[in-house]
Chains A and B, each alone.
Chain A
């Protein structure tokens, strides 16, 4: 049962083959057994989960507000505020923070009747690509325990892959949903910027951050997106557009769909096994009637540079709020207020977070602003224009999710720049605000999952999901499970 999809569980719950309480118990037991090895959870909320399960069973038996998520046990990344449940963002500075409110994503999951099992590990403040930057402990990849699960939503992807929850919700600023989903052999969707409310989601880079589902299959991704998306008055950037039912057109096929292949994404240095798997996936879509089109995204090589200037500039501003006054850690000092701020922040933030705050502060500081932040924001326009031009001749863009499968723990952590380059294929999507998805498309000879990335037009998640569904139904890579 623990590897069941949301739609599978939902059927069993409706048919009374299983109660929400039994399902919740089963996942809590699974967490108890395997999370010693995987370490995907920072906090497991046993009591609240069981209470929510009882409530869901009542809704199911009364036929009261039953949705496809009612009674389904899920987890969320520890970046989402949960009322009464500790929310750390994997940082010492928030180690004991208990929010007085729910993030909109959490509220909507609860309103749909989902059971929240707990909070997933992540890179501190979502800064990283391996979950090694968690201030508490690293998470292991369930497919190979000495490897990273990717990041920053590594705990979410590992928990879904290891059968510790039916699904999780992560966040993606430069690939933090798609890259770990690729590393862990699960489906990860970053929606269009503004599709999902950011209220109560601890901010990293506000013009890039977006929440989205990490699931076992494409149908589950659509189910979660249906529940969490839509206008929220508490986030001024949340879209006013009506949202479609994302599950509706899944099975309509790819005949006639134009799939663009950008030459800049098939580069030297890419793992040949990754390239072969992605090319085979493109062939499969072609076999089903899709039309393959060569496209170009000429400013791709600048995306990592633009990202590390824009994201760190926004982060340096967003993280100014952690000052030891209103919540979180305070380091007492003999000196004045300024001295307390400085000591608190030096003690509370980890090395990667400090590095990014420093980079962002430097590039925004007097004398450097035009050369760095402003220049990067102009090149960001060119990257967005590249996508606009490409989508005139194609409907979806297919690329690898990452240049390699999951790397070994400790392999890149000492060299920040090498780590930054693992996001090379996922970053442009956030800069342009378009939706992107990663779906399993093979295993390396060492048995590590490979991810296929699909990118779509703004607001066109439906086409991405349709193409991913067609691929998934024909191949079944999403049904492979790690041995742990």
Chain B
């Protein structure tokens, strides 16, 4: 399956990346090559095979739904690029 420049721009938009024109060119070529390589999977017969979403150990566990202590507001905001009134501050969302 050939990857076009439009596919790359669409993926970049979904991935929230503002690629430059040069990056778009490079990634189109490189992703084409990589996808070309992984196409070989289509030759494997996987009829009736369950996908492994993890290592298959069925080890996932849930904790009890109990409130425990967490970071203070001040600590949680310590690395924030912008903050105000004890909140993370972001650019305008709604026009």
Contacts and interface: CB of A to CB of B under 8 A. Distances in A.
B79 A327 contact: yes
Contacts, number: 181
Given A325-B88, A382-B49, A417-B33, A365 B11 contact: yes
Contacts of A335: 91
Interface string A275-319: 000000000000000000000000101101110110000001000
B78 A384 contact: no
Nearest to A324: B81
B17 interface: yes
A380 interface: yes
Interface string B34-76: 1101101110101001111111110111110000000100011
Contacts of B15: 316, 345, 357-358, 361
The 4 closest A-B pairs by CB, nearest first: A433-B55, A377-B51, A327-B79, A330-B81
Interface string A370-412: 0110111111111010000000000000000000000000000
B21 interface: no
Most chain A CB neighbours (cut-off 10 Å) among B15, B27, B79: B15
B63 A378 contact: no
B31 A362 contact: yes
A479 interface: no
A329 interface: yes
B44 A379 contact: yes
Given A329-B81, A342-B16, A358-B11, A381 B75 contact: no
A462 to B, nearest CB: 18
A64 interface: no
Given A233-B63, A333-B91, A343 B18 contact: yes
B32 to A, nearest CB: 11
Contacts of B57: 193-194, 239, 433, 458
A483 interface: no
A376 B41 contact: yes
A202 to B, nearest CB: 14
B78 A377 contact: no
A355 B80 CA distance: 27
Contacts of B31: 355, 358-359, 362
A431 B56 CA distance: 10
B14 A361 contact: yes
Given A327-B79, A337-B92, A362 B7 contact: yes
B79 A340 contact: no
Given A302-B41, A330-B82, 9 more contacts: A299-B44, A336-B92, A358-B15, A359-B31, A361-B12, A372-B38, A375-B42, A379-B49, A384-B55
Given A237-B54, A326-B80, A354 B91 contact: no
Contacts of B5: none
Give the bracket for the number of chain B residues in contact with chain A.
Answer: 35 or more
B55 to A, nearest CB: 3
Contact of A323 (B16, B50, B92): B16
19 contacts: A207-B53, A236-B61, A237-B54, A240-B59, A305-B37, A306-B41, A320-B16, A324-B81, A342-B16, A342-B17, A345-B18, A354-B19, A358-B15, A361-B15, A378-B44, A378-B51, A381-B50, A417-B33, A420-B34
A230 interface: no
A433 B54 CA distance: 8
A98 interface: yes
B11 A194 contact: no
Contacts of B80: 325-327
Contacts of B11: 358, 361-362, 365
B51 A380 contact: yes
A358 B12 contact: yes
A432 interface: yes
Nearest to B46: A378
B90 A340 contact: yes
A375 B40 contact: no
Interface string B15-30: 1111110010001001
Contacts of A346: 17-20, 23
Contacts of A376: 38, 41
Contacts of B14: 361, 365
